[in-house]
Amino acid sequence: MNRVCVVMGVGPGNGEAFVRRFCREGYKVAMLARSEDYLKQLESSVDGAHAFTCDMMEPEQIAAVLSDIKSALGPVSVLLYNAGGGAFKNVEDATLEEFEANWRLNVGGLVAATKAALPQLRQQDSASIIVTSASAATRGRANTAPFASAKAAQRSLAQSLARQLGPERIHVANVVIDGVVDLPRTRQMLPDKPDEFFVQPCAVADAVWNLCQQDASAWTHELDIRPFGETW
């Protein structure tokens, strides 16, 4: 076996955990992010990880990189779309440009990635597209307007993809994270929270890995993930 996984949007947190998990399972993993330095550092420390600099806001870059990955590593069988983030502001404090940028990162990039990856995914007996979502995808709050609307659009797109591609044995899933992921940045912002308050990236990676192992007779399209103590 010599399978190829692409992780779009690698950073400390879920993205890096996905890279490590799929490498550990024997995959060649193409890591995409804007920062070449960060990727190079990760590449040197994780066996099987390969750096591909890419800005997920730029669809032409995405198309080009997916082509490079095929040449370098072979056709992709797993696409993990982890690019995300956005503006936590209300409609007045956010600019229209922020709304658009949030859409571009969460939706436009996934459209471009899907278009570019599909011919490769279709060469496999089984393939997966997994999207990292957030509870904001399920409701718009006053101060999450740009982010929530972009994530709602992305979630709808994931459903369209699942319904189109399922019958072709391409498994599309949406992982709705409801909680704060354990990152240097979030720890600094929330210094008083105990360890157990945070979502552990390696546990998210377990969930993503399990999704990719599901038998085609029992696929999950959506699951939520939250720490045991989270209020919801």
Binding map of a copy of itself across residues 30-59, x = CB under 8 A, - = no contact: -----------------------------x
**What is the nearest approach in angstroms of a copy of itself to the Cβ of residue 44?**
28
Query: Do residues 87 and 97 lie in contact, with contact meaning Cβ atoms separated by under 8 Å?
Result: no
Question: Does residue 1 interact with a copy of itself by CB under 8 A?
Answer: no
CB closer to a copy of itself, 48 vs 109: 109
Q: Residue 222, Cα to own-chain centre: how many angstroms? A: 14
Can you point out the beta strands (E) in 135-169?
A: none
- Which string of DSSP letters, residue by residue, matches 42-105? HHHHSTTEEEEE--TT-HHHHHHHHHHHHHHH---SEEEE---------TTTS-HHHHHHHHII
Amino acid symbol at 223 = L
Closest CA to 83 of 63, 50, 107: 107
Question: Does residue 12 interact with a copy of itself by CB under 8 A?
Answer: no
In angstroms, rounded to a whole number, what is the distance separating the alpha carbons of residues 64 and 10? 18
**What is the nearest approach in angstroms of a copy of itself to the Cβ of residue 36?**
25
CB closer to a copy of itself, 82 vs 149: 149
Question: Does residue 223 interact with a copy of itself by CB under 8 A?
Answer: yes
Binders in 182-211 for a copy of itself, by CB under 8 A = 182, 196, 198-200, 202-204, 206-207, 210
Binders in 65-104 for a copy of itself, by CB under 8 A = 90-92, 96, 99-100, 103
